[in-house]
Structure 1
Amino acid sequence: MTDSPEARTPNIVDIHVGGRVRIRRKMLRVSQETLADALGLTFQQVQKYERGANRVSASKLYEIAKTLQVPVSFFFDGLADPMTDEVDEVGAAAERVVTEFLNTPEGLELAEMFPKIGRGRVRRQVLDLVRAMADDADKA
């Protein structure tokens, strides 16, 4: 076993799978503690899975999928096809944006609330406000 920096860097697939676990858990409004209890783990182990710091075994991923009520394939959505290494670049970029957004504490709640704004004009005004705020942040 080596202590090289590469050995300590989480694998991109582990990070992706962990991020998908986190998104699904948050979509269901399940705490890390609740998920950990259902899986016979500590919440720290769930945290490490979600960060990609620890790899999820096949059997544990199966249990997670069952607990979070999704097919196992859900955790791999957005990754390159391992048989061809082909990536839908547009789809992958969109997946990254959505994942980053939903992984923020406010992102999931905002994503749930936004469609509830019934009037398209008001939704566009909210979007304009967010754009203006982001532009100000870029200039600062």
Structure 2
Amino acid sequence: MAFDDTSDARTANPIDEHVGRRIRMRRKLLNMSQTELGDALGLTFQQVQKYERGANRVSASKLYETARTLKVEIGFFFEGLADTVDPAGAINPENPCLALACVSHGPELAVALQQVSGRLRGKILALVEQMTADAAGVDTATGAAA
């Protein structure tokens, strides 16, 4: 029986995106650049970027090498998959810690937030909530659409 993959080639698979986000998260936690990871794996940094975006699938052998380089078990790349990926590929907000780790600048933000006082973190949260409300066109004083 032939393998039939009828998915649109231009649309990234949610599982590939999840694995890519986990690669990116672990790389960032180790303070490793895409170039450094690429060099360790015999890839260009552009290929690492494609893996991290889920644009290209990571082969089994390359995933094994990636796990060894990033000092994790292969299963790490699939952790939280059922909890974080919906059929459309969006990050599920029910797991905000993993969601933060997977967004651009998320790991750096988490590290930076740990270095400030709880009071200042509260002010930063209020600022971000205000910015989010402003972007959504919501008046934070009344909760109504602006």
Give the structure 2 partner of residue 117 of structure 1: 116
The alpha-carbon deviation at position 36 of structure 1 amounts to 0.6
Contact 2:17 2:55 in 1 (8 A): yes
1:106 offset after TM fit, Å?
3.1
Distance 2:46 2:94 in 1: 26
Cα-to-partner distance string for 1:102-138 (whole Å, 9 max, x where unaligned): 34443222110112223x2222122112111211111
Q: Residue 39 of structure 1 contacts residue 63 of structure 1 at CA under 8 Å; is this kept in 2?
A: yes
Quote the Cα distance in structure 2 between the aligned partners of 1:25 and 1:60. 15
SS at match of 1:69: coil
Aligned partners of 2:28 and 2:107 also within 8 Å: yes
Gaps in structure 1 of 5+ consecutive residues: 82-86
Please say if residues 15 and 52 of structure 1, whose CA atoms lie closer than 8 Å, have aligned partners that are also in contact.
yes
Q: 1:95 to 1:51 in 2, by over 3 A?
A: farther
Q: Secondary structure at the match of 1:74?
A: helix
Q: TM-score, normalised by structure 2?
A: 0.75
Q: Report the equivalent of 1:47.
A: 49
Contact 2:51 2:58 in 1 (8 A): yes
Residue 24 (str. 1) matches residue 49 (str. 2)? no
Counterpart position of 2:68:
66
Letter in 1 for 2:23: V
The alignment covers a number of residue pairs equal to 130
- TM-score (norm: length of structure 1): 0.77
Name the SS of the counterpart of 1:35 in structure 2. Answer: helix
Could you tell me whether the CA contact under 8 Å between 1:15 and 1:53 is conserved in 2? Answer: yes
Percent identity at matched positions? Answer: 53
